[in-house]
Amino acid sequence: MVTLNVNDIMAQLTKGEISMKDAVEKTCNFICKNYRVFGLEKYDEDFRSEILLIFLEKGQQFLENYRPELGDYFGYLCMVIKSQVQTHIRSIAKKKVRESFVIQNAPIYVEEKEHIYSSAAFTPVKTTEEKRKLVYTPIPQEVVRQTLTRIAKENKNKKLIIIALKTSFYLTDEHISRISSFYKVKEEIMQQIFQFFKNLLLEKADRKNRLQERRNIAFFHQKNYEKRLELVHASEKHYNNEALMDELEQMLNKHHKSWLSLTKKLESGCVMLRPTNKMIADYLGLCERQVQYYINRFRDEVE
């Protein structure tokens, strides 16, 4: 039941009979006692409390934005409450989307991490007395070329060094240690050589990371709009809006296409983190066809 003409509040404020703070409090009391007037009876007590809290926090701003020439204070107040209700509903929906996304996709991320860690062999950590930590220092390009050329000339097994250089970005210290032992090259020198090649690939690595990040963002937005559509279908009371449905479906299709495109690019190897055959051939003192020959041999053996 309406117990106060809410338009009187604005009239009192305009005349200076009450302060801005008093006007906000009186308006909140009016909303609280007459919430059915604003259609708030459709929502539970917690929801209504949130709307009142929002009005208390932003009430002064709402009052300052009121323009008497556009209509009376009651009409303006109805518009403000309706706007805040819609904003709060969207906020709740977004929160549900985020929570649902985390719950649905957490097993995927855990499984990925589990695979990464389970595939890594455990190696006991050696003390500083057992093994001196190798610190990378830049190595001149000519030293890299001279060392690799000598390895290629003095060893019949060129396939190993070629495959190692091809996968240099992913080699571990243990791999490098075994390679240096096999070719009888100081481990520190071999570390520097492979770091030299890794440094050449850093720009490509950045591009790939950015591409992966774009793919992940597109995937998140796709799931976001899928969940929003579910909420629309499940709650006609709040979301019976065909224009909103069309907009959500368009955004879903847009991000789905983006995710498919970026995933296809990554799977096709559009950004390969490996030196070219020409570069490897140059540093080994071989021709490019020889490098490709050894790579093909290795591929045939693996298959």
DSSP string, 19-63: -HHHHHHHHHHHHHHTGGGGTGGGS-HHHHHHHHHHHHHHHHHHH
Contact 211, 16 (CB under 8 A): no
Instruction: Look at the block and give the residue holding tokens 């790939």.
Output: 208
Question: Mean pLDDT across the stretch 227-246?
Answer: 68
- Cα–Cα dist 171/224, whole Å: 37
Torsion of CA 23, 24, 25, 30, to 10 degrees: 90
Least confident of 38-47, 85-94, 95-104, 192-201: 95-104
Phi, psi of 123 (to 5 degrees): -125, 120
Question: Mean pLDDT across the stretch 81-103?
Answer: 73
pLDDT value, residue 4: 56
Question: Mean pLDDT across the stretch 83-100?
Answer: 74
Is the pLDDT at 216 greater than 50, yes or no?
Answer: yes
Closest listed residue to residue 91, CA positions, set 38, 47, 133: 47
Which residues 6+ apart lie within 8 Å of 177 measured at CB?
Answer: 187
**Which amino acid type is present at position 187?**
E
168 to each of 54, 197, 281, 298, how far by Cα in Å? 57, 7, 15, 16
- What is the maximum alpha-carbon separation in the chain? 100
Phi, psi of 105 (to 5 degrees): -105, -10
Question: Mean pLDDT across the stretch 49-65?
Answer: 86
Portion of the chain with pLDDT greater than 70, in percent:
80
Question: Mean pLDDT across the stretch 207-232?
Answer: 85
Question: Mean pLDDT across the stretch 151-167?
Answer: 87
Is the pLDDT at 240 greater than 70, yes or no?
Answer: no
Contact 91, 229 (CB under 8 A): no
Q: What is the mean pLDDT of the chain?
A: 80
Looking from the CA of 62 toward its CB, the CA atoms found within 13 Å total 26
Closest listed residue to residue 302, CA positions, set 194, 170, 163, 182: 163
Closest listed residue to residue 282, CA positions, set 179, 183, 149, 161: 149
Least confident of 30-44, 58-72, 177-191, 231-245: 231-245
Question: Mean pLDDT across the stretch 127-133?
Answer: 47
Is the pLDDT at 211 greater than 80, yes or no?
Answer: yes
253 to each of 225, 242, 245, 256, how far by Cα in Å? 9, 17, 12, 5
Question: Mean pLDDT across the stretch 78-84?
Answer: 89
Residue 164 in tokens = 């190692």
pLDDT value, residue 109: 47
- Cα–Cα dist 39/24, whole Å: 20
Is the pLDDT at 256 greater than 70, yes or no?
Answer: yes
Is the pLDDT at 110 greater than 70, yes or no?
Answer: no
More confident call, 116 vs 89: 89
Could you tell me the pTM of the whole model?
A: 0.45
Least confident of 43-57, 122-136, 196-210: 122-136
More confident call, 93 vs 116: 93
195 to each of 139, 168, 188, 251, 270, how far by Cα in Å? 9, 8, 11, 43, 23
Contact 240, 165 (CB under 8 A): no
